[in-house]
Structure 1
Amino acid sequence: MNYLKEFVILCTCLFLGIITKQFINFPIPEAVYGMVYLFIAFALKIIEPDDVKKTSNGILHNLAILFVPAGVGIMNSYNEIRGKTLVLVIIVIVGTAITMAITGKVVELLQRRSDV
């Protein structure tokens, strides 16, 4: 498949996610809904992973560019977060630890379920 077709497939899934977000007022980002649609398309064999492989790899290789807006947002909010660095670092460390613990427990639970 060429890059344009692959990009259209990915953008279509994202667009469906945006539409879903408009109808379902739940705090889940549009991109997550789009990924769910992409997963459903894979699961139902509507498209194959190879159908979007080249474009997906290209996006992943340039992922750092997507973090630039977040960095600019932090720089714009610097006056508001100045002096709160220690609190923010603690929050990030604790949040990461909690996320890792919950993820580990969920994986353990799923592995036990699949063994039964």
Structure 2
Amino acid sequence: MIAAFALILVCQLFGEVVSELFDLPVPGPVIGLVLLFFGLLIKRKPPKILTDAADNLLIHFSLLFVPAGVGVVTQIDRLKGDWLPIAAALIISTLLAMVLTALLMSKLLPKQETVEKAEDAQ
């Protein structure tokens, strides 16, 4: 697992270097994530150590929300003053994400009648 985390950190380091070297407005970890993504695309199948490390991270994923929650609590005064635009942005973005996900799923998934015809043919 240490090797997998080292790989992730090396990708993040390369992302930081690229971000600083070319003075990009994109954070280094985002660039590192893109580099890791392209590396995995080239390899076609992620190494077992990387999938195991990712599974362990996902098990404890909820812990990553603790700093965000603390950040919200520290900004409670701002939230009290700007609650309406924040609530509107949250509601609209959630609804938009749900609608776009439904549209994308309807385009990408096979139609039900096509699935039924394929089952009948067998």
CA-atom RMSD in angstroms: 2.6
The 8 Å contact of residues 41 and 47 in structure 1, kept in 2 or not, is answered as no
1:84 aligns with 2:82: yes
Q: Which of these residues, 63, 66, 76, is aligned with residue 64 of structure 2?
A: 66
User: 1:8 deviation in Å?
Assistant: 0.7
The 8 Å contact of residues 13 and 34 in structure 1, kept in 2 or not, is answered as yes
**Aligned partner letter, 2:54:** S
Name the CA shift for 1:18/1:100 in 2 (closer, same or farther; >3 Å). farther
Alpha-carbon distance in 2 for matches of 1:55, 1:43: 18
* Number of residues of Structure 1 aligned to a counterpart in Structure 2: 107
Matches for 1:40-55 after TM superposition, within 5 Å:
40-45=38-43, 48-55=46-53
State percent identity of aligned pairs: 25
TM-score, normalised on structure 2? 0.69
TM-score, normalised on structure 1? 0.72
1:96 aligns with 2:102: no
Which has more radius of gyration? 2
Structure 2 gaps of 5+ residues are 109-122
Per mean C-alpha deviation after superposition, the further-off stretch among 73-82 and 96-105 is: 96-105
Equivalent residue number for residue 35 of structure 1: 33
Structure 1 gaps of 5+ residues are 112-116
**Aligned partner letter, 1:25:** L
